[in-house]
Amino acid sequence: MDLNFRFPQASEFSRQPAYASRAAWSHTLFGQKLTLGGGGYYGRQNYGFNRNVNAWAGMADWNVPLGHKFALTGKFYRGSALGGLGATIGTSTLYPGDLSLPSTVVIPLNTIGGWSQLKFRATSKIEFNTAFGQDSPFAHDIRSGNPQAYFDSVVRNRGILANIIARPRSDLLFSAEYRHLAATALQNNNHTANQINLVMGVLF
Instruction: Please report the pLDDT score of residue 139 as a whole number.
Output: 83
Determine the pLDDT at residue 111. 95
- pLDDT per residue as tens digits for the range 50-90: 999 999 999 999 999 999 999 999 999 999 999 989 888 88
pLDDT at 14 over 60: yes
The CA-based dihedral angle spanning residues 42, 13, 135, 62, taken in that order and rounded to the nearest 10 degrees: -30
CA 51 to each of CA 81, 83, 106, 126: distance values in angstroms, whole numbers, following the listed order? 13, 17, 7, 53
Sign, CA dihedral 76-82-85-90, equals: positive
Burial 96-122 (b: 16+ CB within 10 A, else e): eeeeeeeebebbbbbbebbbbbbbebe
What distance in Å separates the CA atoms of residue 45 and residue 159, rounded to the nearest whole number? Answer: 29
Q: What is the model's pTM?
A: 0.84
What pLDDT is recorded for position 152? Answer: 56
What domains can be seen in the chain, in order of their start residue? 10-202 (2.40.160.10)
pLDDT at 1: 46
**Tell me: the pLDDT tens digits for 157-188?**
999 999 999 999 989 999 999 999 998 887 76
Q: What is the pLDDT of residues 85-133, one digit of tens each?
A: 988 888 899 888 888 899 888 999 999 999 999 999 999 999 999 999 9
